[in-house]
Amino acid sequence: MTYPVAFGGGAKDYKTRGIPHSWLVGPDGKVVWKGHPASLNNSIIDKHIVGARIGPKIQIPDEFSKAQGYAKNGAFGKAHSDLAKQAKRAKTPELEKAANDAMKSIEDYGDKRFAAIEKMKAARRYVDGIGALQREIAAFKGMDIGKKFESELKAWKKDKKIQAEISGSEMLAEAETLVKRGKYKSAAKIYAQLSKAKKFNGTEAQKEAEIRFQEIQKYL
């Protein structure tokens, strides 16, 4: 059987010793799962697409080219502000309605993004959630939903459990880097610290550290 084989820059995360082999890439562009394609199921996919950012379908008339440009670049707050001005200046009822409809679409999209971040919170995807909140604050700046994102981010930063999860996730990432470099003892120390520290009690990071600590024993 003849089939094409390609290799190029950026392929370091896609190593395998056999085929078939699959990789699942998350919304942030990182490989979140790999293995035989028969092992990839809907539950794994659903877990890792929580909060994925899907662009809105906002119909903005060509007459509002400035707002079109803002929306295309993800600056929804600026697009919303410009459309509000255009709605007041509109020369026809049709254009006024079109501007108001586009504003409503942006507002609806903001609400959907907030709901997506709430799902991240429920799934304890706090690192992804923090990043999403920061992006949406910038995207919806000047709008009421933008202020809502800001308030949510402040609440997350004050929540000790959330901060423990984020800190734990960062430690897990550091340990994973050490494992890839073959520094198993150093990685084991991080896993042990995560497993024993009271600060991380009940966190997903601690549960994951306990599993990985057991897996790494054979290399120590």
pLDDT at 127: 87
Other residues' Cβ atoms within 10 Å of the Cβ of residue 213: 20
pLDDT at 59: 81
46, 119 Cβ separation under 8 angstroms: no
pLDDT along the chain (220 residues), means of 10: 59 64 66 68 60 67 92 95 95 94 95 95 90 96 97 96 92 92 94 92 91 89
- Among candidates 157, 156, 166, which has minimal Cα distance to 205? 166
b/e 124-144 (16+ beta carbons within 10 angstroms → b)? bbbbbbbebbeebbebbbebe
Report, in this order, helix, strand and coil percent for the chain, each rounded to 5: 65, 5, 30
Residue 149: HSE in the Cβ half-sphere, 13 Å Cα cutoff: 28
80, 106 Cβ separation under 8 angstroms: yes
pLDDT at 61: 84
